[in-house]
Structure 1
Amino acid sequence: MLIDDDPVHAFMPYPPVAVPSAAEGPLTGLRLAVKDLFAVEGYRTSWGCPLKLAMSAVETETAPAVQALLDAGARFVGKTHTDELAWALYGLNAHFGAPINPAAPDRIPGGSSSGSAAAVAAGLADIGIGTDTGGSVRAPASFCGLWGIRPTHGRVSLAGCMELAASFDTAGLFARDADTLERAAAVLLGPDAADAPARPRWLMPVDMVGRLGPEQRAIYDSVFGAIGAEPVSLYPDGGAEALYEAFRVLQGCDARRSVLPFIDATRMPLAAGLDERVAFARQLNEEDEAAANAVRGPFAAAMDALLGADGVLLAPVVHDAPFRRDAERAVFDAFRHEAMKLLAVAGMARLPQVVFPAGTLDGAPFGLSLVGPRGSDRWLLGVAGRFFRP
């Protein structure tokens, strides 16, 4: 890493190697932290896994998404911690340790983009790049009190980045404020393909909001209550459980093709949590995948029809603030399943989602979000910054 001190354990302790960036550009003066799934010239890439780190050669090229930020003037300050193989939501790596959540040190930071979120929240970087498959930018942004974006699926190149689940993987960003996030997103995303709508058409997803408890709902209402959004329902037949189960199956099928060959070839030990997800993926078959895609296809089409060109969902990110790092195992299991029933909406529909700080619960951050039409990422960021900045 290229910083002198890392009090929140955000960065991998690689020997420092200078990474060139443009002298002038729209991101000049901003420090960049890079999740250790992306190739950066002069550094190894661990994927949060000791065996992968031992096998990794020093990279000779930088991933295009990272290079774009460097070419715009951002200054690289280090590679950041991730959950092992990026296949988790909490930011607790059994091998390399867990970053501290600067906004609530006794709580989990969220993952798998834990280090990038922690670095930005601690002021050690101004921009963090991470990946979001099931919520790995959105959950840490909510937990650490940050602005963040999961882009439209496929909008940002993932060349030179570890693949977990190709039909869900995206490259996302963190920042402490809307302006910085918009500056970085302008570089990474380029212009939207369609003209920006004149104004958003606000939609309240009642079946998502109904999953919040009273305290969480109070924050939601304090931020969104006066807007007068049209109430809508989103979940397919079978409700949130059916959508989440289809997500689990499709992610598992993707991971069978991408990650399980590495696990099998190395015979790596599997940490708690990862072992369960690997076991679930192993028993899936083509019929399971077809059934899950039969849920995803109509759901994504229905979301596209609902949003049109100007619809914006006023959506929860997850159902609660981050829990304590020393929580019992049952808390870990229950939280993930409940959180994913909300996070799966944008992921299954391949839509952009912008997260912003909304309040606190028992001293810990709780974020809210906007979900917009496919390809509307830059417009959606502008809407979030215009209506919901502090």
Structure 2
Amino acid sequence: MRDPYNALMPYPSVPVASGDGPLNGLRFVVKDLFDVAGYRTGCGNAVRLAESRVAEQHAPAVARLLQAGAVFAGKAQTDELAWSLTGKNPYFGDIINPTAPDRISGGSSSGCAAAVAGGLAEFALGTDTGGSVRAPASFCGVWGLRPTWGRVPLAGCMPLVPSFDTGGLFARDGVTLLAVAAALLGPDNANLEGEEPLLAEDLVARLPDEVKRALETTFARLSGGGVDLYVEDAETMHTCFDTLQSREVVETQGPWIEEVRPPLGPMIRARYTTSLAVTPAMEAEARNDRERITGQLVDRLAGRAVLAPVVHDVPLRADAGVEQQMAFSDAARRLLCVAGIAGLPQVVFPAVRIGGAPIGLSLIGPPGSDLALVALAARLVEPEMAET
């Protein structure tokens, strides 16, 4: 397949059989964290790829989509060890954002987002830990879904932060995303109350004035009433997320990093070094904070959907330096951490373009309301398509 966006891994093509079902004929790509029979799994790192054996069976999430009739179109690039939000990889090259080539594509499911945005596939299977589906969906102008934590089987997928990791999806439109989510997730186990989402006013307050002005008409059209999602102050919630993520990355990837001593890109090396300073006592406190915050967030939602910005701004320029990348990612995580802490579903959809760069909006819902959330977003954003 011609790939002008460097979205796909250049693996030799191996036949992958499809079944017969609701996704017949829809091409999809798979983030190179999931096993696909006949392919290696590189996890965004050349040393990990060199060590990888050819997978003998599909990861269960991949198998479900194939059984539903989807057609495998390749493995998608990921940021190194799936631990970044930029779409830049020191081993395999940067992923180009098809909708704004001078901007980053986002990460770590950046290859998936670029493949869908660039027309290489109708949908993609990625993962989301701290925003790895949601940020690139916003940056590349496509639909994305971070499902309720635990709804997507992650056997046969590289773990990063197990208590946050979830499979995730991209599609060009809400109707396709809903069909794919139904095939992957099965029926919902929770409902949404009401049709008019509330607006996350405290998250909106973190947007630059230019972004707020560009989105205010959409906010007014789609929402009814306001709510605050920082049930505790934003820094407490961000620190809770960051502490747990750092600790779990050291547990899942640290043994391999310490044994193999692979060369790491500057951003990953800096983040890993910082993570080593997180103590068990800090982790215990963060887990207590997370349990409390999760309960408060679920209560605050009260069964309703909430309209919220995905990240704080349009995608960063592709030529930004490492310090700018890290600062941008840090600011983005202050919005992305809300749904992640509580394991809530969040669906992203295109909203506006500012200076030629896309920015998305999202709906966050209560646990288990994934399909209802996507269906609501499709009815609000694409009413003509949703009715057909």
If the length of structure 2 is used for normalisation, what is the TM-score?
Answer: 0.96
Partner SS for 1:226: helix
Residues 274-315 of structure 1, C-alpha deviations (whole Å, 9 max, x = no match)? 111111221111100011122211111011111122x11110
Distance 2:12 2:310 in 1: 36
Partner SS for 1:53: helix
Distance 1:323 1:157 in 2: 32
Q: Is the 8 A contact 1:148 1:356 kept in 2?
A: yes
Structure 2 equivalent of residue 40 of structure 1: 36
Q: Look up the equivalent residue of 2:70 and give its one-letter code.
A: A
Match of 2:195 among 193, 200, 206: 200
Distance 1:198 1:301 in 2: 18
Partner SS for 1:273: helix
Distance 1:199 1:120 in 2: 31
Structure 2 equivalent of residue 131 of structure 1: 127
Structure 2 equivalent of residue 281 of structure 1: 275
If the length of structure 1 is used for normalisation, what is the TM-score?
Answer: 0.96
Partner SS for 1:347: helix
Structure 1 equivalent of residue 147 of structure 2: 151
Q: Look up the equivalent residue of 1:381 and give its one-letter code.
A: V
Shift of 1:241: 1.6
Partner SS for 2:235: helix
Q: Look up the equivalent residue of 1:8 and give its one-letter code.
A: Y
Matched, 1:11 2:17: no
Distance 1:333 1:243 in 2: 19
Shift of 1:333: 2.0
Structure 1 equivalent of residue 79 of structure 2: 83
Matched, 1:68 2:64: yes
Matched, 1:297 2:294: no
Distance 1:197 1:361 in 2: 32
Shift of 1:227: 4.4
Shift of 1:221: 1.5
Change (3 A) 1:247 1:212: same
Q: Look up the equivalent residue of 2:55 and give its one-letter code.
A: E
Count how many residue pairs are aligned between Structure 1 and Structure 2: 383
Partner SS for 2:266: coil
Report which stretch shifted further, 288-297 or 93-102: 288-297
Partner SS for 1:148: strand
Shift of 1:338: 0.7
Matched, 1:361 2:357: no
Partner SS for 1:17: coil
Structure 2 equivalent of residue 253 of structure 1: 247
User: What are structure 2's unaligned runs of at least 5 residues?
Assistant: 384-388
Q: Look up the equivalent residue of 2:107 and give its one-letter code.
A: G
Structure 1 equivalent of residue 338 of structure 2: 345
Q: Look up the equivalent residue of 2:273 and give its one-letter code.
A: A
Structure 2 equivalent of residue 184 of structure 1: 180
Structure 1 equivalent of residue 265 of structure 2: 271
Report which stretch shifted further, 53-62 or 211-220: 211-220
User: What are structure 1's unaligned runs of at least 5 residues?
Assistant: none
Change (3 A) 1:39 1:219: same
Distance 1:334 1:265 in 2: 30
Q: Look up the equivalent residue of 1:225 and give its one-letter code.
A: A
Structure 2 equivalent of residue 55 of structure 1: 51
Q: Is the 8 A contact 1:138 1:148 kept in 2?
A: yes
Q: Is the 8 A contact 1:236 1:295 kept in 2?
A: no
Distance 2:220 2:176 in 1: 27
Shift of 1:337: 1.1
Residues 248-279 of structure 1, C-alpha deviations (whole Å, 9 max, x = no match)? 10001111110111111111112111111111
Partner SS for 1:300: helix
Q: Is the 8 A contact 1:90 1:111 kept in 2?
A: yes
Structure 1 equivalent of residue 386 of structure 2: none
Q: Is the 8 A contact 1:247 1:344 kept in 2?
A: yes
Distance 2:293 2:286 in 1: 11
Q: Is the 8 A contact 2:61 2:152 kept in 1?
A: yes
Shift of 1:230: 2.4
Residues 319-367 of structure 1, C-alpha deviations (whole Å, 9 max, x = no match)? 1111111123332122111100000000001100000000001101100
Distance 2:195 2:307 in 1: 11
Q: Look up the equivalent residue of 2:351 and give its one-letter code.
A: A
Distance 1:270 1:97 in 2: 14
Distance 1:132 1:231 in 2: 27
Q: Is the 8 A contact 2:142 2:170 kept in 1?
A: yes
Identity %: 51
Distance 1:33 1:137 in 2: 14
Distance 1:200 1:278 in 2: 43
Distance 2:100 2:292 in 1: 40
Residues 95-114 of structure 1, C-alpha deviations (whole Å, 9 max, x = no match)? 10011100001111100001
